[in-house]
A = this chain, B = another copy of it.
Amino acid sequence: MSETTKRIISGLLLGGGVVVALYFFDAFASIHVFILVLLFSLMGVEEFYRLTDRGLDGRPVRGIGFFFTVLLITAFYLEYLTGYDSSSLPDWLAEWLVLYQKIHNPIVPILALFLIVASSYSMVYRPLDGTSYTITTTIVGPIYAAVPLGIVILILGLGEGIFLFVYLALATIMTDVGAYFVGRWFGKHNAGLKVSPKKTYEGYIGGIIFANLFVQTYLYFWLEINPATMSVFVPGWTESVLLTFVISCISVFGDLVESALKRDARIKDSASMIPGHGGILDLVDAMLFTFPVGYYYFYVRAMIG
């Protein structure tokens, strides 16, 4: 089976899994969404830690990073649950939520504690040479690979969560798919980026156009099928084209940054978990950038509008 075929098949299977998870999204206080996001986040952080391992020159403190990844994703899940009908939750969870809402904004204390614990551990147990590398890579792992996936839970918790999640995911994935095929078939003019020397201008432009075609078609049919979609979350056509353009560009940067991390680590794929796609980071690299931007765009839009 060629790489491209593998890529398409495993992409479809993964996409199918996500669709099933979304279909039952509201059930069981969305606990399965939490578990899925947590698994993806841990795998992402693990890969980031593998990419940034420099042995004696410094390497992340893995266990502490995983622990705080769990805390961070749990905080996003609890944040999501505050918008959930609490009468349908188990009592113990509802009580936890009341406590959680009193201590609003738990990301700052989690990060502060993370820094104290990780740096103290590094200072005591790791060689002094490489201290700053060890501390900084440990902290940034979950900020890079887990926080943006935690934001997926918040996207789903918005008034029209599934619509917005698919909108942002399509804009991101279709940029990549479009760039891949257009670049292969029509690519002539090298974009000259040191991190990805083979990428062409045709590919990037193709990706942006392809994403726009897909997203606007999706928007059109979604509104046809769901005319009751809350208007505060529905972008107008001009707005949607501009937004998709911005998401596409950010998506390209997310992809390139992950490539740069791999080049620095002298590895081709971040791992080989997913046939044809490499590791989890190869799969979600662009989404790590586009989900936060997209979420806050729609969040602020709904708040102001």
Contacts and interface: CB of A to CB of B under 8 A. Distances in A.
Contact of A103 (B51, B99, B300): B300
Interface of A: 51-52, 99, 102-105, 107-109, 111-113, 115-116, 119-120, 122-124, 128-133, 135-137, 139-140, 143-144, 147-148, 151, 193-195, 250, 253-254, 256-257, 259-261, 263-265, 289, 292-293, 296, 299-300, 303-304
Contact of A293 (B112, B130, B140): B112
B112 A257 contact: no
A129 B303 contact: no
Contact of A140 (B99, B105, B120, B139): B139
Contact of A104 (B105, B135, B260, B289): B105
Contacts of A257: 119-120, 122-123, 135
> How many copies of this protein are present in the complex?
2
B304 A128 contact: no
A139 B143 CA distance: 9
B265 A128 contact: no
A297 B236 CA distance: 47
- 3 tightest A-B CB contacts, nearest first: A112-B292, A136-B136, A131-B264
A49 to B, nearest CB: 10
7 contacts: A103-B300, A112-B148, A122-B257, A123-B195, A123-B260, A131-B264, A132-B265
Contacts of A130: 264
A243 B109 CA distance: 17
A136 B52 contact: yes
Contacts of A103: 299-300, 303
Contacts of A137: 132, 136
Contacts of A104: 104-105
A109 B261 contact: no
Contact of A109 (B102, B193, B296, B303): B296
